[in-house]
Each structure stands twice: as structure tokens, then as C-alpha cells.
Amino acid sequence: MRVLVVEDNEVMAEAVARGLVAEGFDVDVAANGTDGLWRAREFSYDLILLDIMLPGVNGYEICRTIRSEGNRTPILMLTAKDGEFDEAEGLDLGADDYLTKPFSFVVLVARIHALLRRTNPTTGDATIAIGPLSIDTRTRRCLLNQRPIELTPREFGLLETLARRPGQPLTRGELLDHVWGADHEGGSNVVDVYVGYLRKKLRAADQGSDLIETVRGIGYRIVGGS
């Protein structure tokens, strides 16, 4: 799952990003409101962590703008402000939750998972099941025909992204953006390489059948399997 952290405190932003990556999230960081608004508009995220006091464009304005444009990505506001009117304003503008600094990282992760479950039941579900394939998004474990499959973080991210849209073709660009992030400097051929890795592991556990299908001229999609 992909998270955008909009935070101008470099130390805090790096700490939060590092912790979320360790929890299995893919993370982009914006150090000011202008960059944060651009990323929120241009790329697809499962959740946005949004500071209020930002250079360029403040968090309130970012929230107001993307909500007015129909962007329903869950927003968790992070701020040093603790007044009830500040919290009310953020929620009135469309934020989904509010956490005051300083905060415990454990509490932050718990609030993120609760928010994802509340605002998006599909992405909040712990388990994705497609035919004989079962993916636990919390423990980052994958079973195929009840057999565990050892996956690298990138392989798991790719498989999870495909599995969240069963039967729907995803372009290499969409997969690259969601799994590797907007700042990835390599070409889209890395997607083909990792699809190859995944296919090899899945075939070994499913008697040679293909769960990942190539859609000519588009990209890849996951199918039900045997």
C-alpha cells in the first residue's frame, strides 16, 4: 500500500517514512505544501499523512483542494496544533482523522490501519483471496494452494497491487508508479523482470499454471488460476 507523507520537518518525515517502510508500506515524501498538492493530484495513494503548517500551501488548503476535485483518498492530519477548533476545521474540510504531535509511532500505525478499514473496506481487509491464492496484507504472507510462498517486498507489493484489481489489466506504468513510486529512475522493464520472478514462484506452487496473464499492448492482470 502506498502512502504520501507531507511534512516539512525533515527529521520527522524521514523517521515516519522509515517506520512505514518497515511496516510494509511504500512511501513518498513531500517537504512542502506545493509538492504535496502536486503529488496528491498526480499519483494514486491509499492514504495521505498531511501536516497543517506547511510552506507553500498549508494542509487545510491541500485538503480543501483535493476534496473539491473529487479525490477521496483518506487523509490523516498531523500537526503540533491541539486546539479543538483546529481539529474541527480539518475534519470539516474533509480530513478523515487527526493526530497531534508528538505522537507514538505505534499509535500512528494503528490509526492508519483503522482509517483504511473505515474509509475503504477493500483496502482495509487483511486478506485478499483469489481462487487458490491468499494474501495477508498485514503479515505480508502469501499462500497458494495452502503452500507458503516466500516473496521479496517488491514481489509482494506487485502481487498485492494486481490482486486488489482481479481481472483488470494494469499498465506497466501504473504498476511502476504504485509499487516502485513516482521517483523511480529506471525504466518500466523492471516490472517485466519482477513479473517473471513472481510467475516462477507461483508456477512452482500451482503445478505450472499462470495466475498472472499478459495483456498484449497494455500490461498484466491476475486471474483466478486453477
- Confidence check: pLDDT of 35 > 90: yes
What CATH number is associated with residue 49? 3.40.50.2300
CB of 53 within 8 A of CB of 11?
A: no
Q: Which domain holds residue 148?
A: 127-222
Same domain for 100 and 145, yes or no, is no
Q: How far apart are CA 48 and CA 113, in angstroms?
A: 13
Q: How far is CA 4 from CA 26, 37, 43, 46, 214, in A?
A: 9, 10, 9, 8, 30
- Confidence check: pLDDT of 110 > 80: yes
Please write the tens of the pLDDT for every residue from 2-15: 899 999 999 999 99
User: Which pairing describes strands 147-148 and 141-144: parallel, antiparallel, or unpaired?
Assistant: antiparallel
Radius of gyration of the chain (CA): 19
Q: Give the model's pLDDT for residue 45.
A: 85
Domain count, the chain: 2
Residues 6+ apart with CB under 8 A from 22: none
Last residue of a domain, one of 89, 122, 155: 122
Last residue of a domain, one of 88, 104, 122: 122
Same domain for 117 and 131, yes or no, is no
Same domain for 117 and 193, yes or no, is no
Please write the tens of the pLDDT for every residue from 114-129: 888 776 554 445 688 8
With 0-12 CB in 10 A as exposed, 13-18 as middle and 19+ as buried, what is 169?
middle
Confidence of residue 226 (pLDDT cuts 50, 70, 90): very low
Same domain for 94 and 191, yes or no, is no
Q: Give the model's pLDDT for residue 154.
A: 83
What DSSP line would sit under 91-133, residue for residue?
A: HHTT-SEEEESS--HHHHHHHHHHHHHHH-HHHH-SEEEETTE
CA dihedral 89, 92, 96, 100 (to 10 degrees): 10
Q: How far apart are CA 87 and CA 138, in angstroms?
A: 29
Confidence of residue 136 (pLDDT cuts 50, 70, 90): confident
Same domain for 138 and 97, yes or no, is no
Stronger pLDDT, 137 or 48, i.e. the higher one: 48
Same domain for 172 and 218, yes or no, is yes
Last residue of a domain, one of 98, 122, 146: 122
Lowest-confidence segment of 20-29, 30-39, 121-130, 165-174 by average pLDDT: 121-130
CA angle 94, 100, 101 (to 5 degrees): 135
Percentage with pLDDT > 90 across the chain: 30
Lowest-confidence segment of 32-46, 65-79, 181-195, 210-224 by average pLDDT: 181-195
Average pLDDT of every residue of the chain: 83
Q: Give the model's pLDDT for residue 124.
A: 45
Confidence of residue 167 (pLDDT cuts 50, 70, 90): confident
